[in-house]
Structure formats: C-alpha cells, structure tokens
C-alpha cells in the first residue's frame, strides 16, 4: 500500500495485520455473497406462499358509496385493496366487483349486495333487458354470459339449469353515517350451497 510520506514503514506487508485484513475481507465478501443468494431465494419462496395467504383476500368490509346515491336499479362497484406480492405492496388494485341496490319495504330501507361472480363457474354476471313472454313487459335481469343463467333483481336464479347451482351470492352490508359498506367475499363455485372458497 502507498503511504504518501517520506519515510514509510512497509514492514507489516505479508504479516498478521495484513492477513487479518484479508480474513475480514474474505468473511464480509462471503457474507455479502450469501445474502445476494438468500434474498432472491426468500423472495421466490414467499411469492409462492403469499398467493395462498392472499387467497382469502377480502373477507372484510369495504366502503362503497352513500345510501342516498343508491336506487332500485342495481349498480356495480369495484372493490379495491392493496395486493402484497413478495417484496412489494401494490396499492389499490381491483380484487372484485359487487352489485348493490336499495329497496323500500314499508318504512324500512334495505340495501342488498351480491358478489358479481356467477356461482356456477365464476364468470362475471351482467345486466340485461329481456321481454317477459307472459306480461310482454321489458324487464331488467342479471344474466351470466357463459352458460346463460338468469337471475331476477333479488339475485334469485330464474331458469334452473343443472350447471347453475344456486342464487347469486348475497353479501353482508352495513350502513354507518349514511355510508354503505359491504363485506366482500368469494364463495366456492359449482356447489348448491354457498360456502367459503
Ligand atoms: S358461469 Fe354462469 S352460468 Fe356458468
């Protein structure tokens, strides 16, 4: 090593002091190398495990809108939450959609909310108008595009088909200070009973 002075002592070259510095250099080099391998391996394992943990994403109440802004026509709302993926958190990603409508029963105002995924195989249910052959009135219905299951505006399955096993999945709601909250959940597809996925 060059000391930059007139009389320099290079006597410790090749001695214990230099060997100690070499040892520490080697030690920290190996530790750094091990960390460089360990971090991506940990991230890979975590990225495999996390989706399993995230399977139950939702299962809590989400704020939707104000009670005043709802009416009898169902409205579709996206549900957004933070998605954790290995080392990063992606904020406010859409994790699903719900339909919500408000109905009046006597003096009581009720809010009904449904999961937008079809209970048969998980396609996204839409809304469509259709003429009622008995009354000739044009009616609004929930309709699944995949295997043409239809549901009335209370989520009741209209055309019983072997492949459309149950009514639309009703979700829990609550009203606080005039705001609507819905408990977002995804249920198992293809089963006659509504059960957690
Ligand atoms: S997924 Fe809706 S009827 Fe099959």
What CATH number has the domain bearing residue 142?
Answer: 2.102.10.10
pLDDT at residue 84 in the model: 84
Which pLDDT tens digit goes with each residue over 123-158?
A: 999 999 999 888 999 999 999 999 999 999 999 999
CA of 78 to the centre of ligand 1 (A): 20
Of 100, 128, 94, 102, the closest CA to residue 115 belongs to: 100
Mutational test site, ligand 1, from 121, 143, 158, 188, max ligand atoms within 8 Å of CB: 121
Residue 167 has pLDDT above 80, yes or no: yes
Token pair listed for 123: 């396609």
Q: Which atom belonging to ligand 1 lies closest to the Cα atom of 118?
A: 2
CA of 122 to the centre of ligand 1 (A): 7
Query: Are both 82 and 162 inside the same structural domain?
Result: yes
pLDDT at residue 100 in the model: 98
Q: How many Å apart are CA 62 and CA 174, to the nearest integer?
A: 10
Q: How many Å apart are CA 35 and CA 40, to the nearest integer?
A: 9
CA of 29 to the centre of ligand 1 (A): 58
Which pLDDT tens digit goes with each residue over 9-62?
A: 555 554 555 455 555 566 556 655 555 555 445 444 444 444 434 445 678 999
Yes or no: say if 161 and 151 are a contact pair by the CB < 8 Å rule: no
For residue 123 and ligand 1, the question of a CB distance below 6 A is answered with yes
pLDDT at residue 52 in the model: 38
CA of 106 to the centre of ligand 1 (A): 34
Query: Are both 165 and 91 inside the same structural domain?
Result: yes
For residue 161 and ligand 1, the question of a CB distance below 6 A is answered with no
More confident call, 133 vs 191: 191
E-assigned strand segments in the chain: 61-66, 75-85, 88-105, 108-115, 126-131, 138-143, 150-151, 170-171, 173-176, 179-183
pLDDT at residue 8 in the model: 55
DSSP 5-21: SSS---TTTTSHHHHHH
Q: Whose CA is nearest to atom 3 of ligand 1?
A: 147
Query: Are both 31 and 103 inside the same structural domain?
Result: no
For residue 43 and ligand 1, the question of a CB distance below 6 A is answered with no
Confidence band, pLDDT 50/70/90 cuts, at residue 5: low
Q: Whose CA is nearest to atom 4 of ligand 1?
A: 147
Q: What is the number of domains present in the chain? A: 2
Q: How many Å apart are CA 18 and CA 26, to the nearest integer?
A: 12
Residue-number span of the structural domain to which 140 is assigned: 57-183
Is residue 188 a part of any domain in this protein?
Answer: no
CA of 165 to the centre of ligand 1 (A): 9
Is residue 124 a part of any domain in this protein?
Answer: yes
Mean pLDDT of all residues belonging to the chain:
81
Integer distance in angstroms from the first to the last C-alpha of the chain? Answer: 67
Query: Are both 72 and 139 inside the same structural domain?
Result: yes
Residue 3 has pLDDT above 90, yes or no: no
Is residue 118 a part of any domain in this protein?
Answer: yes
């Amino acid at each position: 090593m060059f000391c930059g002075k007139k009389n320099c002592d290079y006597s410790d070259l090749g001695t214990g002091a230099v060997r100690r510095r070499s040892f520490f250099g080697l030690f920290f080099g190996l530790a750094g190398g091990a960390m460089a391998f360990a971090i991506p391996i940990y991230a890979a394992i975590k990225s495999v495990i996390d989706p399993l943990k995230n399977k139950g994403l939702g299962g809590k109440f989400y704020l939707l809108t104000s009670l005043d802004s709802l009416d009898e026509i169902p409205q579709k709302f996206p549900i957004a939450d933070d998605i954790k993926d290995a080392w990063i958190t992606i904020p406010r990603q859409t994790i699903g959609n719900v339909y919500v409508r408000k109905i009046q029963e006597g003096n009581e105002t009720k809010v009904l909310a449904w999961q937008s995924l079809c209970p048969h195989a998980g396609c996204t249910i839409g809304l469509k108008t259709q003429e009622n052959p008995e009354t000739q009135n044009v009616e609004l219905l929930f309709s699944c595009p995949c295997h043409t299951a239809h549901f009335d505006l209370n989520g009741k399955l209209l055309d019983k088909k072997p492949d459309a096993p149950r009514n639309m999945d009703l979700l829990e709601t609550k009203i606080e200070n005039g705001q609507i909250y819905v408990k977002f959940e995804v249920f198992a597809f293809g089963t006659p009973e509504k059960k957690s996925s």
